[in-house]
């Protein structure tokens, strides 16, 4: 059986130290890309983490709001107007804000997203939260996020033991009566769910008329698109927007992915990783081509084509891509686990991200290889006599 001598691989293997350096370079670049994309993905995911748990077909919110933090407010009486639109079954007001809470375990101040809901109406898809919403009827009662960032073991243990943890939030007495799972975001350490009345008592400055957003639920079989149009006609105010739930989530994600500076920062980080990797691979391949100039000229004199030599360099680029990628995949999985544990952020090595980074690695090695092959032109067999 005929197979081609794997010349590129043999040349790389002949210089083990150089090969190791090249693999480390690719690995470093990949890990950098994995981290940056991981953070960006986590950021995009967490920005709608809470919103995607909400029950609602249509969301009415302020036009100034672009993400949950700083979502703005809508006058309550406008939200109530929506109830008159045909097809709307009900509407519930949701209040959202940030509060500081001194963690009873660590004594450190935590920054929590606090959500005020009507305990009589299902607001969250999560059955765990829904089953506990009646606990919020008493003023001062709260449900706490067990996956909040930091050590909340004191709170979690005493609540899990069947008890109620009495503490103080914003100068008011508060009782943590139940737990649920949500997780931290980049902006907040966790989430606290309370009733609307409790929310207003915790965040003294807010008035009941300034709602964060309204969740509109439609009667069965009603077309959300048509109802959105109808609502937009009724609520044709400059500061109020009506979106389907999907549009609402998408616009929050889009703001983060495209318009926010953080997204740019992470993309730049990933790009720098790509450049560093490309520079290292180019350096290694160029040095290898340079070192084998007379052998390459010799191969041409044996009748090998220029394309054959291009193939050798491509082979090397592909080998570096694969050999650098595989360990970086394992390293990324390990680092993701560590970072996810430390930050309570969802950092998951998805197939899509692994595929994207591999594609970028191949691109990086291909560009470097293509640049390195320019040197091959100098391999002239007539010069070796």
Residues found near another protein in the complex (CB under 8 A): 2, 4-5, 7, 10-11, 13-14, 292, 294-295, 297-305, 381-382, 384-385
DSSP string, 298-346: HHHHTT--HHHHHHHHHHHHHHHHHHHHHHHHHHHHHHHHHHHHHH---
In angstroms, the Cα distances linking 165 to 101, 177, 191, 294 are: 14, 7, 16, 79
Output the 3-class SS for 34-69: HHHHHHHHHHHHHHCCCHHHECCCEEEEECCCCCCC
* Nearer of residues 216 and 323 to another protein, judged by Cβ: 323
Cα separation of 241 and 259, whole Å?
19
Measure the CA–CA gap between 150 and 5, rounded to whole angstroms: 57
Closest-CA residue to 346 (of 192, 188, 187, 182): 182
Nearer to another protein, 188 or 313 (CB): 313
- Residues 385 and 373: their CA atoms lie apart, in Å, by 23
Closest separation between CB of residue 336 and another protein, Å?
A: 38
Q: 337 is written with which tokens?
A: 């686990």
Compare residues 126 and 291 and give the one whose CB is closer to another protein: 291
Residues 6+ apart with CB under 8 A from 4: none
Tell me the sheet residues that pair with 174. 167
Residues 215 and 281: their CA atoms lie apart, in Å, by 53
**Inter-residue contact 221 to 57 (CB < 8 Å):** no
CB 136 within 8 A of CB 195: yes
Between 161 and 302, name the residue whose CB sits nearer to another protein: 302
Pick between residue 252 and residue 300 the one whose CB is nearest to another protein: 300
249 vs 293 by CB, closer to another protein? 293
Q: Is the dihedral of CA 248, 250, 253, 256 positive or negative?
A: negative
* Cβ 318 to another protein shortest distance, Å: 17
Nearer to another protein, 236 or 382 (CB): 382
- Name the minimum Å distance from CB 9 to another protein: 9
Q: How far is the CA of 209 from the CAs of 169, 181, 236, 305, in angstroms?
A: 22, 30, 19, 79
Least distance (Å) between residue 3 CB and another protein: 8
Nearer to another protein, 253 or 300 (CB): 300
What is the sign of the dihedral through the CA atoms of 16, 18, 23 and 24? positive
Nearer to another protein, 231 or 313 (CB): 313
* Least distance from another protein to the Cβ atom of residue 12, Å: 8
Beta carbon nearer to another protein, 109 or 294: 294
- Run of H or E including 215: strand 213-218
Burial class (CB in 10 A: 0-12, 13-18, 19+), 120: exposed
State the nearest-atom distance from the C-beta of 324 to another protein, in Å: 20
What is the closest distance, in whole angstroms, from the C-beta atom of residue 380 to another protein in the complex?
A: 8
Least separation in angstroms between residue 364's CB and another protein is: 24
**Closest distance to another protein from the beta carbon of 2 (Å):** 4
Q: Residue 29 burial by CB count (10 A; 0-12/13-18/19+): exposed, middle or buried?
A: buried
Report the nearest approach of another protein to the CB of residue 253 (Å).
51
């Amino acid at each position: 059986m005929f197979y081609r001598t794997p010349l590129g691989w043999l040349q790389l293997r002949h210089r083990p130290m150089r090969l190791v350096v090249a693999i480390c370079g690719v690995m470093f670049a990949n890990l950098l890309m994995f981290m940056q994309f991981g953070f960006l993905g986590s950021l995009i995911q967490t920005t709608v983490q809470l919103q995607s748990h909400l029950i609602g077909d249509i969301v009415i919110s302020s036009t100034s709001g672009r993400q949950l933090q700083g979502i703005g407010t809508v006058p309550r009486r406008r939200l109530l107007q929506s109830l008159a639109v045909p097809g709307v079954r009900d509407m519930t007001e949701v209040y959202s804000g940030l509060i500081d809470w001194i963690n009873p375990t660590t004594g450190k101040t935590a920054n929590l997203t606090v959500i005020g809901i009507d305990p009589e109406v299902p607001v969250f898809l999560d059955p765990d939260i829904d089953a506990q919403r009646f606990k919020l009827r008493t003023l001062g009662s709260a449900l706490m996020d067990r996956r909040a960032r930091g050590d909340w073991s004191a709170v979690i243990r005493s609540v899990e033991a069947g008890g109620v943890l009495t503490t103080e939030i914003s100068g008011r007495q508060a009782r943590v009566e139940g737990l649920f799972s949500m997780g931290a975001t980049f902006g907040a350490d966790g989430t606290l769910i309370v009733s609307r009345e409790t929310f207003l008592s915790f965040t003294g400055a807010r008035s009941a008329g300034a709602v964060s957003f309204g969740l509109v639920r439609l009667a069965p079989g009603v077309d959300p698109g048509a109802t959105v149009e109808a609502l937009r006609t009724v609520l044709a105010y400059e500061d109020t927007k009506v979106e389907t739930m999907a549009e609402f989530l998408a616009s929050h994600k889009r703001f983060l992915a495209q318009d926010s500076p953080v997204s740019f920062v992470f993309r730049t980080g990933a790009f720098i990783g790509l450049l560093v990797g490309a520079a290292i691979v180019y350096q290694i391949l160029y040095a290898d081509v340079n070192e084998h100039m007379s052998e390459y000229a010799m191969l041409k004199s044996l009748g090998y084509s220029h394309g054959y030599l291009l193939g050798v360099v491509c082979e090397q680029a592909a080998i570096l891509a694969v050999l650098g990628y595989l360990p970086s995949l394992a390293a990324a999985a390990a680092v993701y686990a560590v970072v996810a544990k430390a930050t309570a952020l969802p950092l998951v090595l998805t197939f899509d991200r692994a595929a994207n980074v591999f594609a970028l690695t191949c691109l990086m090695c291909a560009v470097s290889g293509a640049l390195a092959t320019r040197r091959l032109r100098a391999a002239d067999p007539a010069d070796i006599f």
